[in-house]
Structures are given as C-alpha cells and as structure tokens.
Structure 1
Amino acid sequence: MRRHSPIKDHLSERRTFASRTLLAFAVVVLLMGALAARMVYLQVFEHDRYATISDRNRVQLEPIAPTRGLIYDRNGRLLADNRPTHNLSIVRERTDDIDATIAELAQLVPVTERDIAGFHKRLRERRRPYEPVVLRFRMSEAEIARVAVNFHRLPGVQIDADLTRYYPYASSLVHALGYVGRINERELERVDQQNYSATHHIGKLGVEKFYEDRLHGKVGLQKVETDARGQILRVLEREDPQPGQDIRLHLDIELQLAAEQALGEQRGAVVALDPRTGGILALVSHPGYDPNLFVTGISGRDYRALQQSEDLPLFNRAIRGRYPPASTIKMMVGLAAIDSGTVSPAYTISDPGWYQLTEGGRYYRDWKRWGHGKVNLKTAIAESCDTYFYDIGHRMGVDPMSDYLGRFGFGRVTSLDLPEANGAILPSKEWKRRVRGRPWYTGDSLNLSIGQGFMVATPLQLATATMVIANRGRWVNPRMLQRVIDEPEFELPVPERKQLADVQLKRDGYWDHIITAMEEVMHGEHGTARRSGQGADYRIAGKTGTAQVVGIKQDEEYDAEALAERLRDHGLFVGFAPSRDPQIVVAVVVENGGGGSSAAAPVARELFDFYMLRQKDVQLADQG
C-alpha cells in the first residue's frame, strides 16, 4: 500500500524563515556597526595620524641650502665668489630604472664614465629619501633645453639651480684661502647634520676650512605639494635660509700678485706681515694649483698629475715647508748672547775663516774662506760672519739659544687661523734625547748658532720672528682675518697655547743695536744684501741666509754647477721697512736658488718697493 506524506506545516516554515532572517539581519547590523565603529575610530580617534601620513605622500619637507659667505681682501677685492650654475640630477625614488634613465640622458647630453661613477658614489652617500643626486655639473643652456623638452619621458630627472664656489685668482691664492669640496661622511659626522642637510660642499683647507661655521650659514626649509609622480605643484610654506657671513682678510691681493710675479718660476715661498696687527698681507707658495678643479670633484688623472709632480704643487711651502733658517736667525742668537750676559755688544773676535773647538780638531768654516778679520756683533750680522756665531754659540751653549729662539715663536704654531700650519723643530737637549736618543754635543750648538743642524723653520715662522724684532719685542699673532663684515665687534680669540709673552730684554738699547746691524745688511758698505738695498729712498732692515741642502766635506768647496739643481742651496731673506717705523715684514725662501743675497733679497726688495711706493701714492692722494 502507498503511504501518503503528512500535510505541509506552513507555520513552522514561516517561523524558521523568520528566525533565519532575523539572524541574517543581526549579522548585517553587527557588521555595519563594526564598520561604522571602525570609520569613527579612523576618522575621529586616528584622524591626526592618517592625516599626517596622507600629507607625507602629498607634502614634502625640503631643506634649502644657505648661500656661502664671500671672502674679500683688505681693500674690498673679491677673492672667493659664488657663481650660479645648473646641475642635472636624478631622484632615485621617482624613477623605476636608474641605469635606463642614465642611458637615455646620455643620448641627449654628454655623460662620461667619470660622471656615472661619481653619481653612484654620491647615491651611496645620500643622506635622505627624495634627495636629488647630481649626475652632471655645470650644464650649458643648450643642454638644459634638450633635457627640459624630454621631461615627460624622464621621470625623476630634474635641473637644479645652484651656486658654486669660484676662485677668480685660481692658483695665486689657493695656499692662502684653501678651497671647498664635496662633503664626505667623515666630515658630515663632525657637523650639525640638520644644518648641512642640503649642503654638498664644505671647506677643505685654509681659511675656507677654519671659518666654515661663519661662511656656511643656516639651512632653510620649505613645504611643497607634489603629485603622484613626485613633481612639485606648489610651495605651501617657506623658511628662508640665513646666508653665511662675509669676511674680510688682511690679505692684499695686489701685493700677493706682486710677490708671485717677483718669485717668478722659482720654487719657494713668500710671507708678508703687517707688524702693527699681525695681519698676513701676502702668503705665496709656488707652484700652486687651480682650486676650482676641486670644487665639483677633480678627475683621478688630474689629481695623480698633481700628486706625482716633483715640484709638489699641493704642498703649502709657506706654512708647512721646513727649511734650515740659516743666517736669518743670527739676530735672535746675538740677542740671546748679549741679553744673557754671555758676551757684551762690544765683544770682538778675529776671524781667520774658520773655528775650532780643540786644537787640531774639526774646522767649522765660515762662508768667506779667508775670514772677516776683526768682527763684533754688528759687523757679524751685516757681513753674516759664521765664525763669530760659532764662538758665541760655544760660549753660550744650547740652553740660552733654544730659550730665546722659543720666545720668538720658533718650534710652535703661533698663527691663529691657518689650520695646516706646521710647528717645525726647535732643538734642545731634551728634544735630541727624546727624538734621537743621543746627548747634545758642543758641535750641535755651533750648528744651531748659524741656523743649521737639527733646526728647521717655516717661512711663516721666519716672518713672525722678524716681526717681533720690528716691534721691539711686542708680540702679535699672525692672522688672516681682518673682520667679519656684519659683525665689526668680533675679535679673533688667541688660544692660551698660542699666547706668548712680549720679549723683554734687560736693556731696550739692544733692539737698536740689532736693528742697526740689519740696516747695515742692506745699506752698509759690506752688507750681504747691499745690492738689493741700493737706490731705496727708505731704510730697510734685513738679513740674508743660505741653507745647505747637502753636506760638503771639510776639504771640498761648494760648487753649485757641479750639483744637481735640486741639491743646491736654498736662498733666504727676512726684513722689514721702513726700519724705524715698520709697516711691512717680509720673509722669502727660494728653493735651490743659491745665496740669499742673490736669490731671495731681490724678491723682497720688489715687494718693499711695491708696498712703500703705493703707500706713498695713497698719502699724496689723501693730501691732495
């Protein structure tokens, strides 16, 4: 028999459907509530956070590099300038393929392998995201135009306007000013990274390095709105950078060029000081090099050529060259002898042309082989008699000599703003025992008395010691800076380690004695530099010196023609003018130039004439 199904229960179905509908509705309401709660949370409680994140995508904070301060000479002539230039840069985050972009740019403008290598190095050293990295410096107008019309297919490529350091006097001032170059990671660690966030260059040497804090300035900031491709749409806010301070140096560019011309093609150095202020009027080291090559990065080939040159153009002879001072220190040795009481100013010897410590012992010869006859301190300085100084050096010993030479600044750095200056060597008993591990011998004192042996000095030290004589013992430290232009009250501090006391002698008349002897060098009948002093309508006080480069055996005579050019003697000169009212002090070193009277003194005379005659013209103009 067939069984029939029960009658359908519509009420039960409706109840089931209703419960399911309510459940589904509850789930929908719950989900909508969760969504609404999430929206409230994001829009209300997290609003600030997500607004900031959104702004980061839309708004970029960009640093603005300050303009570097300018450098002027004492007369307002511009020595270090900033020139406008345009650089080709790439922003890494805004391009998909760096190599492809560079290859495409190379089809538009010249891009060398050196440019590409430099770009990748700068890319590795990059300090923040979205920072443009330079591929090519100093774009021409035609190159800028070719790139600009192709911006639409070169994402991340941009042309940046910039100011680049420029040195109009090039090699003539490089050893005085130094230069700026690309900042490296080691230098970045020493500075305020935020303040240098947009700066690509920093002072590397000299004045540019020492006054970096004042020349650099303070970074500025701007908020810019960008599109999805990172292109700037508008500037929202801007805080202008503070430019670096302009500075004025004591340097006299006309005197600097005159010194360079007087030195000619000879290797050597010239330093000129104002004895009243210690200002460095000229600082020449020849040969030099063009600092503009270093501003945007010198090629490896060019740098190797400078490094490997036997003339050492990278070496600053004026402040780092260490030369035997030879007879240019005889004034200080003479002062030490009479002020210490070793001998009187009237002390006289008979010079046969040589000196012996013991009978039958070694001959310490004078440059004049037949001798000078009867000699006192004045004639010994005027005629540069070595035998006289052998004698007083033997009587005095090393201690007074080293002490007095130290009072004049030898053996230490006394300049205030030349960071590469060298202290050279002032020997003493302690120095020889510490450095050479041997005792001091009497023969060492004889060598020291004529500026030979262990002692070496820089041209700047020779000029400084001569300046102390010109000032009759008054000490003033050499300095480049005359003033900060917008801060006229600024005074360059003198560190305690560089603060030397004035040289006080037992009798002030000793200064007159020494200065008179220096005048005889230039104007006396037998003065070693009398030819360079001829015809001057002002009085010059000077001293020549001849420093041996190689030793000569006792029985041999010095023959310059028989020696290689680089083994010949150095010529030295120090002096000041006018002798009784000093306005300029000059020190000259001519490497392998021969005697100081023939090689160095004529260079100094040209500078004295240039400076004194120009001063006379200025005075006449003022009177007119």
Structure 2
Amino acid sequence: MRQRRATLKNPEQEVGLFRRRSLVAALVVMLLTCALVGRLVYLQVIEHQAFITRSDKNRMRVEPLPPTRGLIYDRNGTLLAENRPTYNLTLVRERAGDVDDTIKLLVSILDLPQDQTEIFQTRSRQRQRPYQPALLMSDLTEHQIAELAVNRYRLPGVEVEAQMLRYYPQGPLMSHVLGYVGRISEKDLQRLDSSNYASTHFVGKTGIERFYEDKLHGTVGYRQVETNARGRALRELSRTPPIPGEDIRLTIDAKLQELGAELLDGRRGSIVAVEPKTGAILAMVSSPGFDANQFVTGIDYKSYKALQDDPDLPLYNRAIHGQYPPASTVKPYMALAGLQNGVITPSDTVYDPGYYQLPNDSRKYRNWLRWGHGRVDMKRAITVSNDTYFFTVAHELGIDRLSSFMHRFGFGEDHSLDVWAPRSGLMPSQDWKRGRYNKPWYPGETLSVGIGQGYWLATPLQMATALAVLANKGHWVRPHLAQKIGDQAITPPFPNTPEDIELTNDRWWDLVFGAMENVMSGSEGSGRASGRNLQYRMAGKSGTAQVFTLGQEQKYNAAELAERLHDHALFTAFGPIEDPQIAVAVIVENGGGGSRVAAPIAREMLDAWILPHMKSEEEAKAAVEASQSEATVQNVGD
C-alpha cells in the first residue's frame, strides 16, 4: 500500500497571506473612516447653515401681520367706513391632519347647517402659500368662541384670530359710493400681490374700496415666534410691524347725500351733484340702496337672492351704470352746437305749428305741445323746451357734427378720475350705427337725437359732468371722489383732462344761461313752479324721457300705462349763475314730467348747498364791515 506524502507547514506563506489580508482590512477601514469624516464635514460645515435653518423651522415660525385698513371720511370728517374688532375662525391645512374630519367636527361643534361643510372646504383651499391660515368664518359670537375653546384639543390647526372687520355706519346711504370689502376669492388672488396680502382675508370688491385698494390696504408686517412640537406659539422672537393703510377723505358731503336720498324717498332714481370749479362730486345717490355690511362677512344665499330678484334692483348703481335718454336736458348744448357750427343765430326764429317735417317726407315729428308754440327763437325754444326748433337745428347740423360737439362735453365717454367701472353711455354717429347694426343712418334718427332721445344714452354722472362744464363756460375739470389720501390733497389740474371748449363768441354762453334762468323764473318756464322765491340766480333745464316709442297718431296717457312704462323725469340745474358752486342732475325713473317731479328735487339740493354758503359769506362780510367801522371810530377817537 502506497503511503501519502506528508505536507509541511510554510510559515512565510502564512505571514504573507496575513499581511495582505490586514492591508486590505486597513484600507477598507480607512476608506470607511474617510467617508464618515467627509459626511460629517459635509453636514457640519458645508450644509451647516441649511440644517440650522431647517432646525429653526421646526421650532420657529414666521407669521405675517395684516395691516389695519385705512378709514374713509366725508369732506367734513364724518366717518363713512371704519374697522371694528372681531374674531375670525381660521384653519392651517398642514397642521389639521385629516382636514375633512376637522371641518365636519367644526360644523358639529358650532351647530351649523350641513351645507356649511362644503363652504368651509372651499374656503380652506383659498390660500396663497403653505402654512398660511385660511379664513373659514368671520365675526364669531361669544358662545361660538367658548365652544371652540373647550374643544381646542380636538381641533389641530384651528385657531380663533382677533382682527379688525370693516363696518359701514351709514348703511345703504353710501353703499354705491363706497362699495364694500369681501373675502378674497380665487379670482382676487390672481391679481393681488401674494406677499403683501399674506394673512389678509378681505379685499375691496366695488366702489371706492376697490378703486383705492392699494392705498387703503397698507403693507404687511411679520413676526418670528418660537413654537412647540404641535406648532403652538410659545413666544415672540422678533417683529416687523405692518404699515396701516392710508385714510381717505372724500369730496362727498354726507348731509347732502342724505338729503338726496330723502328727496327720492325710495323711488328708483339717482342724483349726482358736482362742484364745477373743482370737479368734486358732492353727492352721488342711487336709489334704492343696500346694506353693504351684509357682504363683508359673506351674505347668505337667501338674502343675496332677495336682492337679485328685487324688481327695483338695489344692487344696481344707477348713478354710473344707469343709461338713460337725456331728453330735453340737452337742448342748451344743442343751441351751442348750432351757434358754433353756424346753422343758427340767436335771433333766428322757427315757426312751430306743433310738428316738424323733413323735406319730401310726409311723417310729422310732433312737438310735446301738440298745437305748437308759434314762432320761437333760441331763448324761447330753451325756455319752453320746444321740440320743433331743435328738430330744425339737428337736421341742419347732421348727426356727425352733432355727435362730435357733444363728445366735447363728455357724452359717450368716461372722464371720471376715480369712479370705479362707470359706463360711458352712448353718443351715436353714422359710423357707430354701421358698425353696430350694419345699417345706414336715417335723417329721422337725427331728429330724435336732437331732443335727447333715440340712440343717445347718458348716465346721471355724465349729465352732471356736462352741466359742470357748461357752468364753467367750457372749462373742464374731471369729476372725482377723493379729496385727500393720507396727507396728499387731490386737486386739479388732473392728467388726461379733455381740452376746454372754446366758442367763436363767448357771449353765447351767457345767452344760453339766460334762457336756462328763464326756465326757472320766466312766465313760460317749465321749471317756474320750482323757481319761486329764489335767493340766487339758478339755471335749469327739464327733460322727460320716453320709455317706449309712441305711434305717429298715438297720444301718451300715463293713466292707461303700467307704472314702469311711465316716462322718466329728468332735471339738470346749476347756480348761482354768476359764480357756479354746484351742478345737479336728477332722474326719477318712471316719474313722469321732469319739471313736475325732478325740478323740486334739484331746487332742494341747490338750496341746501348754496344758501348756507351765502349766509356764511354775508356773515363774513358783515364782520369785516364791523371791524372796519370799529377801526374808523378808533382812529377818529385817537
């Protein structure tokens, strides 16, 4: 049997193997150590600031501080829009856990209708950035606050915040002028500066609140707070205070505005009063109005539906959105257009048999007085509001020259400085009709426009503005609502003001003023009933706008018509003639005759503004005379 060869141990080989293995192990340990050290250097040195910031975010939070909204006053310092302390319910989605469950619990705790759940869910998503609280509910009651406090541990991410809430002391009286603020919507978020509106829940929606939103809102502030693991604030670390919005003083006189509302007495209509020299809007009444406070915290569906369905349209701002035929109130402007374009002279006369006929046309365009006024010149035509005379002027002018001249007074255009979203009315022309209806212009349509009917439409603000330009003898000042913003006074001249109207003969202004004065004080004047016992010189012009068109042989009979088919009553007036202080446009929807219904309102408005100023001037003059007399006596004594 073959014996197996014995194997001898090789120490050198084993030592070499051990050394190789040790070297590899050492290299692995060194590589791992280097990786560990490198990672530590990366975390502790290179990314030090980032991780410090991340750590601070776990215990510190930057919270925006909403600015206090600016206040709004009338020209005499009467407060029209203020801020009242209130408590709001807010939700931070990132801290609320299951948002749907939290909202359902909220609705249950506050004993709200179940449809409020969907409303809360919608509002919880209306935010500009993560961790920003979303406003769920405003103006909490004491009972609701107590219920939320008791159940606070069950409502993560839910907070009750103290904040100032907009309030309008005048209610419906100023609703159309001021507008209102409301909750920020998704549409609002698209146009707002998200950084400046962080933590702001309300924004101006209409009126002055919307137009001057950037001035009234202010600048957001911030505070840094330390929080616990649940996100509750423990202490404030630093603060950058917000800058409050600027206060605004309006040109509106609250007492004159209140008088206008009382004179309309709930009837559908509007009154606009403008100070001719400055363009200041003294009153801008739209009746009926609505309570803007309903919209601040969010109006309920039933109340909003009632406002929408109201046939009197309380949400409709008639002063700037209502477009009416200006009717015979335009006849003074028509007279100036005829004089300026050389188609008439002040002494030219027209015979009025009660109607006007175009050449080669059998149709009769009737004067309002069916048997006519006989022979009339320009002054008498304005005084008695003769249609036949102005049919003649309109036909001689033609629609394009007529339209061009009326645009210079602001008809068909918006020249207001700071009125939110006014309509521009309509001043028709041949090109306008061709573009709108693809039809030619007919001569009979020019006659209708010549007495302020037909296609011609104007807002009460436009009528008051044009009258102010007329009272200024062609000098333009843009109408405006803001008198002072913060410490900055708003005074003319204003940018983009239309060019002044210059006539070939300045005496024509006085001729037209004399005719308008005759309307109030002349024996044939349509406004003479309202012009009795005047203590100043007043110029006026009545108008009666048709709501529907009568047939050629039809006779208007209000007693046979539904109330909403009655004519609109209009009246425009300014005074004193030698130094105009106020120009007023009045319209009463379906009121009937302008001289009977609207003229007394215009007279009351002018009296309320002019007479106190006259008394003040007389008192001041008497004081000066007394002072001079006393000084004379003293000198004699010396």
Q: How large is the RMSD of aligned CA atoms in angstroms?
A: 2.8
Give 2:351's aligned residue.
350
Q: Does 2:144 align with 1:143? A: yes
- Residue 589 of structure 2 corresponds to residue 591 of structure 1: yes
Is 1:612 aligned with 2:610? yes
Structure 1 residues 617 and 57: alpha-carbon distance in aligned structure 2, compared to 1, 3 A threshold: farther
Equivalent in the alignment of 2:65: 64
Asked if 1 retains the 8 angstrom alpha-carbon contact of 2:107 and 2:116, the reply is no
Compare 583-592 and 58-67 and name the one that shifted more: 58-67
Q: How far apart are the structure 2 equivalents of 1:438 and 1:135?
A: 55
Query: How far did 1:163 drift?
Result: 1.4
Deviations 1:569-592 (A, max 9, x none): 000000112122111110001111
CA distance in 2, matches of 1:96, 1:406: 62
Q: In structure 2, how many angstroms separate the alpha carbons of the residues matched to 1:42 and 1:406?
A: 73
Q: Deviations over 1:98-143 (max 9, x none)?
A: 3333344345433334543332112222222222222321112332
Tell me which amino acid in the other structure corresponds to 2:313: L
> For residue 568 of structure 1, what is the aligned residue in structure 2?
566
SS in 1 for 2:55: helix
| Paired position in structure 1 for 2:418 | 417
- Distance in 2 separating the partners of 1:228 and 1:615: 68
Structure 1 segment 251-290 matched on structure 2, within 5 A:
251-290=252-291
What letter corresponds to residue 202 of structure 1 in structure 2?
A: V
Amino acid at match of 1:613: L
The counterpart of 1:602, out of the listed 600, 603, 607, is 600
Q: 1:370 and 1:502 mapped to 2: Cα distance?
A: 40
1:43-54 alignment runs, 5 A limit: 43-54=44-55
Say whether the 8 Å CA contact 2:107–2:117 is kept in structure 1. no
Q: Tell me if the contact between 1:116 and 1:135 (Cα under 8 Å) persists in the aligned partners.
A: no
Aligned to 2:118: 117
What does 1:299-338 align with in structure 2 at a 5 Å threshold?
Answer: 299-338=300-339
- Quick one: which amino acid aligns to residue 137 of structure 1? S
Q: What CA distance in whole angstroms lies between the structure 1 residues aligned with 2:516 and 2:225?
A: 69
What corresponds to 1:340 in structure 2? Answer: 341
The answer as to 2:216 corresponding to 1:218 is no
d(CA) in 1 for partners of 2:574, 2:520: 11
Counterpart of 1:55 in structure 2 is: 56
Find the residue that maps to 1:81 and give its secondary structure.
strand
- 1:375-390 aligned at under 5 Å gives the runs 375-390=376-391
Q: Which runs of 4+ in 1 moved over 6 A?
A: 14-30
- Greater shift in the superposed pair: 362-371 or 41-50: 41-50
Three-state SS of the structure 2 residue aligned to 1:51 is helix
Q: Does residue 469 of structure 2 align to residue 468 of structure 1?
A: yes
Aligned to 1:559: 557
Cα shift at 1:531? 0.7
* Other structure's SS at 1:333 match: helix
Deviation string, structure 1 residues 315-373 (Cα, Å, up to 9, x no partner): 21111111111100000001111222211101112222111224771111111112112
Match of 1:504 in 2: 502
- With over 3 angstroms needed to count, the CA separation of the structure-2 counterparts of 1:164 and 1:25, relative to structure 1, is same
1:360-395 Cα shifts (integer Å, max 9, x gaps): 711111111121122111111111111111122222
The answer (yes or no) to whether the contact 1:273–1:280 under 8 Å persists in 2 is yes
The aligned counterpart of 1:514 is 512
Distance, in Å, in 2 between the alignment partners of 1:228 and 1:91 is 15
- What is the deviation of 1:18? 9.5
8 Å CA contact 2:70–2:217 kept in 1: the answer is yes
Kept in 2, the 8 Å contact 1:66–1:241? The answer is yes
Counterpart AA for 1:569: D
The answer to whether the Cα contact below 8 Å between 1:424 and 1:456 also exists between their aligned partners in 2 is yes
Report the Cα distance in structure 2 between the residues aligned to 1:360 and 1:503, rounded to whole angstroms.
Answer: 36
Query: CA separation of 1:313/1:570 partners in 2, compared to 1, >3 Å: closer, same or farther?
Result: same
SS in 2 for 1:600: helix
Instruction: Map 1:450-489 to 2 at 5 A.
Output: 450-488=451-489
Distance change >3 Å, CA 23–CA 357, structure 1 → 2: closer
What's the offset of the Cα at 1:495? 4.8
Cα contact 2:574–2:584 (8 A) shared by 1: yes
Instruction: Give yes or no for contact 2:268–2:312 (8 Å, CA) kept in 1.
Output: yes
Partner-residue secondary structure (3-state), 1:413: coil
Q: What amino acid is the match of 2:550? A: I
> What displacement does 1:621 show?
6.7
Q: Aligned in 2, Cα 1:621/1:68: closer, same or farther, shift over 3 Å? A: farther
Q: Which amino acid is the alignment partner of residue 361 of structure 1?
A: S
Please give the residue correspondences for 1:370-409 in structure 2 after superposition, counting only pairs within 5 Å: 370-409=371-410
Distance in 2 between the 1:238 and 1:346 partners? 77
Residue number in structure 1 paired with 2:210: 209
Aligned pair in 2 of structure 1 residues 445, 26: CA closer, same or farther (>3 Å)?
closer
Please say if residues 73 and 248 of structure 1, whose CA atoms lie closer than 8 Å, have aligned partners that are also in contact. Answer: yes
1:480 and 1:517, CA in 2 relative to 1: closer, same or farther beyond 3 A? same
Which residue pairs with 1:447 in the alignment?
448
User: Residue 215 of structure 1: CA displacement?
Assistant: 1.2
Deviation at 1:399, TM superposition (A): 3.0
Instruction: Write the distance in 1 (CA, Å) between the matches of 2:591 and 2:403.
Output: 28
What is the Cα deviation at residue 194 of structure 1? 1.1
Query: Which piece of structure 1 moves more, 267-276 or 363-372?
Result: 363-372
Aligned-pair CA distance for 1:70: 1.2
Instruction: Describe the superposition over 1:167-198 as per-residue Cα deviations: whole angstroms up to 9, x where unpaired.
Output: 11122112112222222233322232211222
Q: 1:456 to 1:107 in 2, by over 3 A?
A: closer
Shift in alpha-carbon separation, 1:18–1:441, aligned structure 2, 3 A: closer
Structure 1 position 149, deviation (Å): 3.5
CA distance, structure 1, for counterparts of residue 41 and residue 619 of structure 2: 84
Q: What's the secondary structure of 1:410's corresponding residue?
A: coil
Letter in 1 for 2:504: K
Give distance in 2, aligned partners of 1:88 and 1:187. 21
Shift in alpha-carbon separation, 1:475–1:26, aligned structure 2, 3 A: closer
Pairing of 1:105-254 with structure 2 (within 5 A): 105-254=106-255
| Residue identity in the other structure for 1:410 | F
Of 526, 530, 543 in structure 1, the residue corresponding to residue 528 of structure 2 is: 530
Moved more, 75-84 or 356-365: 356-365
Measure the CA separation in 1 of the matches of 2:39 and 2:553. Answer: 105
Amino acid at match of 2:403: S
Q: Give the gaps of 5 or more residues in structure 1.
A: 1-5
Match of residue 538, structure 2, among 516, 537, 540:
540
**Matched AA of 2:60:** V
- In the other structure, the counterpart of 1:75 is 76
Which position in structure 2 is the counterpart of 1:42? Answer: 43
Distance 1:382 1:294 in 2: 47
In the TM superposition, residue 151 of structure 1 has moved relative to its aligned partner by: 2.3
C-alpha distance in 2 between matches for 1:521 and 1:264: 25
CA distance in 1, matches of 2:457, 2:268: 18
> Please, which moves more after superposition, 434-443 or 36-45?
36-45
For residues 55-93 of structure 1, the C-alpha deviation after alignment (integer angstroms, 9 at most, x for no partner) is 122221222111111111111111111111101222222
Q: Does 1:433 align with 2:434?
A: yes
Q: Secondary structure at the match of 1:501?
A: coil
**Corresponding position of 1:363:** 364
SS of the residue corresponding to residue 189 of structure 1 reads helix
Kindly indicate whether the alpha-carbon contact (under 8 Å) linking 1:378 and 1:514 is maintained by their aligned counterparts in 2: yes
- Aligned partner of residue 464 in structure 2, secondary structure: helix
Mapped contact 1:111–1:136 kept (Cα < 8 A): no
Closer/same/farther in 2, CA of residues 379 and 188 from structure 1, 3 Å limit: same
Q: Distance in 1 between matches of 2:18 and 2:108?
A: 74
Sequence identity percentage: 50
Secondary structure of the equivalent of 1:221?
strand
Given that 1:66 and 1:216 are in contact with CA atoms closer than 8 Å, whether structure 2 keeps it comes out as yes
8 Å contact kept, 2:203–2:213: yes
SS in 2 for 1:466: helix
Q: Quick one: distance in 2 between partners of 1:375 and 1:60?
A: 82
